Amino acid sequence: MDSRSYKDHFFKKAKVQGYRSRSAFKLIELNDKFKFLKNGIKLLDVGSFPGSWCQVAREKIKNGKILGIDKKEMKKIEGVKFFAGDFIDQKSKAAIVEFFNSKIDVILSDMAPNTTGNKSLDSIRTNELCLSILNFSKDTLNKNGVIISKFFMGEDFQEIKTTAKEYFKKIDFFKPNSSRDESRETYIHCSGLST
């Protein structure tokens, strides 16, 4: 099976298993490796459209509190609250804080801006979103909390790594098998706030 066929396998598998997109398998792989989806947790999914990460979270978390946020409207998922808004806006961040009304245990982000076709610019814009997640976590994440965020390998990778090391006791990088080989995307896993 060549690389493209292998990746299409995930698309077909998502449809068969009822996931809204193939990215569900990225979260499943990330959780298999880092074991952060647990019962009773408070979880925020930033850039949640179309909802496959919320679907996986809902399957794995019992008696928890799950919020998805995205600029694009997401179809309802039982047991998941959705907020339509831009994560970067202060109004959206205030709504997130109000919804949880306490520290968050896990923040997920598979978020990427609309692509421009310029790989360098797209990488910078995605990595800015990753940095905004890291900065948001300082005041909102449980001290033993976890962040999983997508970023692209590029010139600003070092800034992400430096910021993560400043805020967290443990950081790891992981590219799931279900990511396309040609994609520069990878994920950062951060745990244990040090601030």
Decide: 26 and 32 in contact? Cβ < 8 Å.
no
Predicted TM-score (pTM) above 0.85: yes
Active-site residue, 150 included: yes
User: How many separate domains does the chain show?
Assistant: 1
* pLDDT tens for the chain, residues 1 to 195: 444 444 465 555 555 566 667 789 899 999 999 999 999 999 999 999 999 999 999 999 999 999 999 999 999 999 999 999 999 999 999 999 999 999 999 999 998 777 777 777 777 888 999 999 999 999 999 999 999 999 988 778 899 999 999 999 999 999 988 876 677 789 999 999 996
- Amino acid letter, 101: N
Q: What kind and span of H or E run contains 83?
A: strand 80-84
Among residues 138, 150, 169, 170, the one annotated as catalytic is: 150
Q: CATH code at 189?
A: 3.40.50.150
Kindly tell me the burial class for residue 173, based on how many C-beta atoms sit within 10 Å of its own C-beta (0-12, 13-18, 19 or more): middle
CA distance 113 to 118: 12
Range of the domain at 56: 3-193
In this predicted structure, what is the pLDDT of residue 6? Answer: 45
CA distance 36 to 170: 14
In this predicted structure, what is the pLDDT of residue 1? Answer: 44
By C-alpha distance, which of 47, 54, 55, 48 is closest to 88? 47
